[in-house]
Amino acid sequence: MTKVILSREAADYLRYEHDYLNQFNPPAANAAMAQIRAAIRRLGIHPQIGGPAPTLPGRRQFVVGAYVITYRVERDAVMVSSIRHGRQSIDLDRDDGAEEGDGE
């Protein structure tokens, strides 16, 4: 299994999204986070599962429910640069890589 590393932005988004959803529906917030975490684990097993990101050369996108995970595959790791709701736009200036993180 390949190591999956989340950027700070991706990890921050997960915390923000959980807190936001939790205000309205705690079980739905937990279910959404569980779905995203399972997808992140799946990327470690099948790094090519997502398709090429049309506007981000060298990146791939994996759609999970209402969310889009943007990542790149390196020799020894999958680097998740962003996670966003599908209705949110991509900030191309901020989608610049991944730092060490645990995805939680």
Q: pLDDT tens digits, residue range 34-80?
A: 999 999 999 999 999 999 998 899 999 999 999 999 999 999 999 99
What percentage of the chain exceeds 90 in pLDDT?
Answer: 78
Q: What percent of the chain has pLDDT over 70?
A: 86
Q: Where are the domains of the chain?
A: 3-85
Per-residue pLDDT for 15 more than 70? yes
Indicate whether 88 pLDDT > 90. Answer: no
User: Please, what's the b/e burial string for 46-61 (b: 16 or more CB within 10 A of its CB; e: otherwise)?
Assistant: ebeebeebeebeebbb
Query: What is the rounded average pLDDT for all residues in the chain?
Result: 89
Q: Where does the pLDDT of residue 91 fall: very low under 50, low under 70, confident under 90, or very high at 90 and above?
A: low
In the chain, the amino acid numbered 84 is R
Locate 93 and state its tokens.
Answer: 């200036």
Task: Please count the other Cβ atoms lying within 10 Å of the Cβ belonging to residue 104.
Answer: 10
Beta-bridge partner residues of 4 = 78
Instruction: Please give the Cα distance from 102 to 4 (Å, whole number).
Output: 8
Superfamily of domain 3-85: RelE-like (3.30.2310.20)
